[in-house]
Amino acid sequence: MKTTLLALTAAACLPAFAATVTHTFSGVTTSNWVAEGPITSEFPIGTKWTVTAQWDSASAPLFSSDTQSQYRLTKFTTTLQGKTGTWTTSSLADKASFTLNKFGSDEIQFTSGWGPANHTNQTIGDLAPYSINVTLKDPTGKAISTLNSAPSAIDLAKWDLVNSEFKIYLSDSGLTGIYL
């Protein structure tokens, strides 16, 4: 009986508005800033990519200020459709996050975490994924309504997708990578 009451009490304390939000972004790469070799042969310019990001809209921020709030992603999976097959990696638990930025313009940056050890697939061709980022940009500063809560949805119509970015950093210096 005590167990049942405890479970009911715990369930009653959960926020009614908690929801898992999943968004998939996709596109094709437009440039590689990496030396010619196996990686550019397998993933040339024009390679199709998808990133699936998932979060809890009721989660508390990891960090918050007047201009930024950072939230944990519960899933961050990237797929590239190469010439000979598909390459996929996911972030390990508690490594991926996204940040809402309001600096006059608005920006959401989804990131996998830094370093190959934070990814389920630690090699891509003869290199390693250091960080994978999707950044949505809005120069009008109207896309983010609040920094105080994680978004319950993303309306892509509010974002300038031409100036948004997809990047895979393939070195610790960040000078090597694949770009949208």
In a domain, 168, yes or no: yes
pLDDT at 180: 53
Q: Is residue 59, in this structure, part of any structural domain at all?
A: yes
Select the more confidently predicted residue: 166 or 6.
166
Per the CB < 8 A criterion, the answer to whether 122 and 87 are in contact is no
In a domain, 3, yes or no: no
Is residue 6 included in any domain, yes or no?
no
Q: pLDDT tens digits for 70-102?
A: 999 999 999 999 999 999 999 999 999 999 999
Domain hosting residue 130, numbered range: 22-179
Q: Give 37 or 96, the one with higher predicted confidence.
A: 96
Identify whether 164 is part of a domain. yes
Parallel, antiparallel, or unpaired for β 63-64 and 86-90? unpaired
Q: How far apart are CA 172 and CA 85, in angstroms?
A: 26
Residue 2: what pLDDT?
32
What is the Cα–Cα distance from 5 to 3, expressed in whole angstroms?
5
Measured CA to CA, the distance from residue 96 to residue 112 in angstroms comes to 4
- Residue found by looking up tokens 């508690």 in the block: 94
Could you give the percent of the chain with pLDDT greater than 70? 88
Asked if residue 16 is part of any domain, the answer here is no
Question: CA angle, corner 82, sides to 161 and 172, nearest 5?
Answer: 70
- For residue 22, pLDDT beyond 90: yes
Q: Residue type at 101? A: N
pLDDT at 17: 58
C-alpha distance across the termini of the chain, in Å: 57
**pLDDT given at position 8:** 30
Number of domains the chain is built from: 1
Q: What is the pLDDT of residue 150?
A: 87
pLDDT at 117: 96
pLDDT at 176 over 80: no
Find, among 152, 162, 154, 177, the residue nearest to 17 by Cα.
152
With a cut of 50, say whether residue 6 has pLDDT above it.
no
